[in-house]
Structure 1
Amino acid sequence: MTSIPRRDFLRHLGISAAALPFIGGLGSLYGNQGTAPRKKRLVIMFSPNGTVQEKFWPDAAGKDFQFKSILEPLAPFRDKTLLLKGVYNKIQGDGDRHMRGMSCLLTATELAPGNIQGGSDTPAGWASGISIDQEIKNFLQGKAETQTRFGSLEFGVAVPKRADPWTRMSYAGANKPVAPIDDPSQMLGKLYGKMQDKEGLVSVLDHVSGDLKRISTKLSSEDRALLDEHMNLVREMEGEIARQSQQKDMGHPMPEIDPTIELVNDNTPQISRMQIDLLVNSFANDMARVATLQYMRSVGEARMNWLGVQEGHHTLSHEPDNNADAQAKLEKINLWFAGEFAYLAKRLADTPEPGGQGSMLDNTLLVWTNELGKGNSHTLDDIPMVLLGGGGDFTMGRSLVLDKVPHNRLWMTIAKAMGHDLQSFGNTALSNGGALDLVTV
């Protein structure tokens, strides 16, 4: 049977284009329930300032590893987790280690010359190449069978409203940083559209509910349940945004006095969950198959009052290892990030794959990483790399210790798992050896 564009198909049914964001991923509507090609997805999550390594890395490698305290939230997903110790960011050149740790994290290439001064190192500019998320996005968008509405989505949580190499990890190309959206109301508008009247926010559902009701009769029971979930999420999100707009700013503005300290709003945990819910919903509707989720920024001084931590995160990360109080607070901070990563995994695991191919987690690879291995030494060695989910088709349920592998090769490995067989990525010399074997080794 000859396929026709989805918008033409909807027009034939008398359905407005405004309904498309709700039904783009519902296979039974287009007659491909259970027959559509597998949709493999990638999410890269970032948290800053290194980790507490002795509370992060398992004592034993292989399949007999035990999670340390920071990674305990991942216990329900132990068999779907792959820990990689020994991944190094070996990019040299201009810029301090926080700058290279952040802007070279996903690009795996040097910073371009510039006048942005960091620490005592030479000044630098933006990254000089594309980031792996955008590279994979471009590859998928170049094929009709993997094209999506957005290709990739860049989510932020408490990312300050400034642009420099410490705040950007995604790059569309050399000197082309991609800003994450850290306001759920803006992301909701991007995904589903929203209209304003004199009273403020008007629900997009008010304008498409009739269309969605008519079209639901043509869906399988599974897709009807998924559509109901989409609609409920949007309705709840709109209500929450309306309540928040009456109380406080949903974003995280830079403070006026000290630009090195972000006084993160106490609603950060709430914003985090809203962003994750929107991310999962966008994947379920096949709006994108690549996403990034960026928490704060490199050198970020977020004060996480909801954890009982009043000190800035970066300041704590510089305290010596024998400062037990600082180490305990850093452990608590990183444990919170692990909890958000686990929440993302659970949301995907609880969402059936549209078209009937297990859960969405079975077809999604999650990567949680950091710009540093350890904050007080500014090391770019042993960068935290946690892989979770089935989207990479790797052998999971393991903790591996690699031999100082450049992170270029890990990104090549993940690109290959997504169908993009890169022969090099970023710095060509650091790509020698090619993709890693995370299936049989």
Structure 2
Amino acid sequence: MALKLNRRTFLVGVGGGVAVSLPVLDCMLDDNGNRAEAQTGSAPSRYAVLFGGQALGGDNWAEDNYMVGGARTTETGHFIAPAETGAGYTMTTPLEPLAMLRDDFSIVTNMAIPFNASDASAGAVPAGGAYRDFHGGGKSPLLSGTRSTEASFSCNGPTSDQVIADMHDGDTTFRHLVMRAQVPFYLSGYDHSGRQYLSYRTGGRSGRIEAQTSPRNAYLSLFTGFVPDDGAAAARLDFELRARRSVLDLVSAKRDRVLARVGRADQIRLERHFDEIRALELRIASIPPIATGECQMLPDPGADPSVGSDNSGAGSGDITGGTGYSNEHDRARVMCDLIHMAFVCDLTRVATLQITAFQSHMSVLPVSTDFGYPAYADLHELGHNGDTNNRGQFHVSMMLQWHISHYAYLMQKLKDTPEGAGSVLDNSALVFTTEAGHGRQLNDGSSPNATHSVENMAMLLGGHAGGLVTGQHVRTSGAHPVQALITAMQAAGYTGDSLGEVTGNIPELMG
């Protein structure tokens, strides 16, 4: 008799200490690709927001001007917004990682958060607008659609991911997955002070949600069911994993029984699923754990990337190797793997990944060196001053490309994962946004070509959930960025038409 499984089936190990979730299989669906246990509806929709703590251009540099290696250059194609609108536009430097996915996302540009250029007082901030003090003034209107009235790194209303999480509350094992790849703040004498929060269930400090910064602990929570709180239990689990005793070994008998009773297509999906879980285990083992509460993991016996120290000096021109960087590249990659697997297993349908923090002082030296154009600056100062020989649009766009590469990586994994008659990407809405645009300075309300700007902003909307229109460049006439968020939210099943104080969507992208 053919095996029929419920959508939320787990393989539970001996003693019940380990549970491994399964992807969507044909034996969970009816002939139309719907969930078998429901016999109606469709595969679940997913929603994710990825964020980069940088602007789109450099201070006092026009969008086509920059300096590399001491040589000043004027060249188009590096600013994120393509010259052409609609389909068939020319890919810009930041969008290059998405070249093979151009039909799976759209870019929305020329958006702006309103502010009062003639009155900087808190009472003069318009609805959905920014208090005139960057960086803190732009956060709330960008993420929650609610005006800011002071320069605090907080949101005055729920963020889009939490609105979507409310829709699915109780339907999945985890309400949401909230992660951050950048670990320390990296600026000596300072800490994140609110810059590390991307998700707010309600407005204010009480509503903010702590992000998981340890890929290892996120993995253990998602795929083995618990992170032990006492040191002895943590040590035993750590020893088992590092001795390469996979969690898959602990459910091997049940795994083999399921494999023997499903069709060939499901066998292939399951084997691939198990291979990816094992690959994640091996990759995570190479990253040093971050302590969570009283849970302490034993250090890996091999060479581990370390948590970087604070940058020297002011973070521009005097950055040195080994400071201000904790291998955020690999951390972000593993976190994308975790989002992918959590979506595939229907452990959660909502995720956020803060690749870098607001006002990020992560060193760009390691990443820019990998690109072949080393810059001795941190991400924040790269937008302002760069270093002596490297300034302006090119290096800003290079780091933006690095951020977008993680977004592209997640999109490709979701696209490559079959679900029903399509892929997981077909049932997902994915947003990428940065902290700032490139226009008039928010603080003085007038200086042009500023990084501290909420004008000329852009967002990427990917996936095909809800008939989201992709493959387009939409240049708006100053739409609010939250209208792009609302578009993605509606694609993911949100029936409202507002977020915070902002109403409406990007009509060109509504299917």
TM norm structure 2: 0.72
Q: 1:134 to 1:258 in 2, by over 3 A?
A: farther
Q: Is 1:130 paired with 2:158?
A: yes
User: For residues 73 and 279 of structure 1, what CA distance do their matches in structure 2 show?
Assistant: 19
Unmatched segments (≥5 aa) in structure 2: 36-41, 58-62, 65-77, 115-127, 186-190, 228-232, 241-245, 288-299, 370-374, 439-448
How far does residue 31 in structure 1 lie from its aligned partner after superposition?
5.6
Q: Is 1:196 paired with 2:194?
A: no
Q: 1:106 to 1:251 in 2, by over 3 A?
A: farther
1:210-262 Cα shifts (integer Å, max 9, x gaps): 22222222333333223222322222222233344335666746639889899
Match of 1:218 in 2: 261
How far does residue 205 in structure 1 lie from its aligned partner after superposition?
2.3
User: For residues 24 and 477 of structure 2, what CA distance do their matches in structure 1 show?
Assistant: 44
User: For residues 288 and 73 of structure 1, what CA distance do their matches in structure 2 show?
Assistant: 26
Match of 1:61 in 2: 85
Match of 1:275 among 320, 335, 343: 335
1:126-164 Cα shifts (integer Å, max 9, x gaps): 32211000101111226xxxx211132112211437553
Q: What SS does structure 2 have at the residue aligned with 1:58?
A: coil
How far does residue 187 in structure 1 lie from its aligned partner after superposition?
0.9
User: For residues 196 and 221 of structure 1, what CA distance do their matches in structure 2 show?
Assistant: 38
Q: 1:200 to 1:21 in 2, by over 3 A?
A: closer
Match of 1:174 among 190, 203, 217: 203
Match of 1:39 among 19, 35, 44: 44
User: For residues 14 and 30 of structure 1, what CA distance do their matches in structure 2 show?
Assistant: 21
How far does residue 331 in structure 1 lie from its aligned partner after superposition?
2.4
Match of 1:348 in 2: 414
Match of 1:363 in 2: 427
Q: 1:66 to 1:96 in 2, by over 3 A?
A: same
Larger Rg: 2
Q: 1:226 to 1:408 in 2, by over 3 A?
A: same
How far does residue 287 in structure 1 lie from its aligned partner after superposition?
0.9
Q: What SS does structure 2 have at the residue aligned with 1:66?
A: coil
Question: Would you say the 8 A contact 1:88–1:407 is kept in 2?
Answer: yes
Q: Which amino acid aligns with 1:86?
A: N
Q: 1:360 to 1:183 in 2, by over 3 A?
A: same
Q: Which amino acid aligns with 2:333?
A: R
Q: Percent identity?
A: 24
Q: Is 1:86 paired with 2:110?
A: yes
Match of 1:307 among 368, 392, 401: 368
Q: What SS does structure 2 have at the residue aligned with 1:170?
A: coil
User: For residues 123 and 387 of structure 1, what CA distance do their matches in structure 2 show?
Assistant: 28
Question: Would you say the 8 A contact 1:50–1:317 is kept in 2?
Answer: yes
Match of 2:494 in 1: 420
Question: Would you say the 8 A contact 1:160–1:297 is kept in 2?
Answer: no
Match of 1:26 in 2: 24
1:237-292 Cα shifts (integer Å, max 9, x gaps): 22233344335666746639889899443632222221111111111111111111
1:389-421 Cα shifts (integer Å, max 9, x gaps): 212412221111112112333333222222221
Question: Would you say the 8 A contact 1:73–1:338 is kept in 2?
Answer: yes
Question: Would you say the 8 A contact 2:180–2:353 is kept in 1?
Answer: yes
Q: 1:185 to 1:398 in 2, by over 3 A?
A: same
Question: Would you say the 8 A contact 2:200–2:209 is kept in 1?
Answer: yes
Question: Would you say the 8 A contact 1:61–1:401 is kept in 2?
Answer: yes
User: For residues 209 and 259 of structure 1, what CA distance do their matches in structure 2 show?
Assistant: 54
Q: Is 1:298 paired with 2:358?
A: yes
Q: Which amino acid aligns with 2:203?
A: A
Question: Would you say the 8 A contact 1:49–1:370 is kept in 2?
Answer: yes
Match of 2:383 among 301, 304, 317: 317
Match of 2:75 in 1: none
User: For residues 261 and 158 of structure 2, what CA distance do their matches in structure 1 show?
Assistant: 42
Question: Would you say the 8 A contact 2:137–2:153 is kept in 1?
Answer: no
User: For residues 387 and 363 of structure 2, what CA distance do their matches in structure 1 show?
Assistant: 20
Of the structure 1 ranges 409-418 and 64-73, higher mean CA displacement relative to structure 2 is found in 409-418
Q: Is 1:438 paired with 2:508?
A: yes
Q: What SS does structure 2 have at the residue aligned with 1:387?
A: strand
User: For residues 388 and 261 of structure 2, what CA distance do their matches in structure 1 show?
Assistant: 64
Q: 1:257 to 1:77 in 2, by over 3 A?
A: closer
TM norm structure 1: 0.83
1:167-197 Cα shifts (integer Å, max 9, x gaps): 2121011221112222110111111126634
Match of 1:239 among 273, 276, 282: 282
Q: What SS does structure 1 have at the residue aligned with 2:143?
A: coil
How far does residue 86 in structure 1 lie from its aligned partner after superposition?
2.5
Q: What SS does structure 2 have at the residue aligned with 1:291?
A: strand
User: For residues 243 and 263 of structure 1, what CA distance do their matches in structure 2 show?
Assistant: 19
User: For residues 138 and 32 of structure 1, what CA distance do their matches in structure 2 show?
Assistant: 27
Q: 1:80 to 1:39 in 2, by over 3 A?
A: same
Q: Which amino acid aligns with 2:355?
A: Y
How far does residue 5 in structure 1 lie from its aligned partner after superposition?
7.6
Q: What SS does structure 2 have at the residue aligned with 1:281?
A: helix
Unmatched segments (≥5 aa) in structure 1: 113-121
How far does residue 95 in structure 1 lie from its aligned partner after superposition?
7.2
Question: Would you say the 8 A contact 1:151–1:288 is kept in 2?
Answer: yes
Matches within 5 A, 1:247-286: 247=302, 252=307, 255=310, 263-265=323-325, 267-286=327-346
Match of 1:148 in 2: 172
Question: Would you say the 8 A contact 2:487–2:509 is kept in 1?
Answer: no
Q: 1:87 to 1:315 in 2, by over 3 A?
A: same
How far does residue 298 in structure 1 lie from its aligned partner after superposition?
1.3
Of the structure 1 ranges 62-71 and 200-209, higher mean CA displacement relative to structure 2 is found in 200-209
Q: Which amino acid aligns with 1:35?
A: N
Match of 2:135 in 1: 98
Q: What SS does structure 1 have at the residue aligned with 2:43?
A: coil
How far does residue 50 in structure 1 lie from its aligned partner after superposition?
0.9
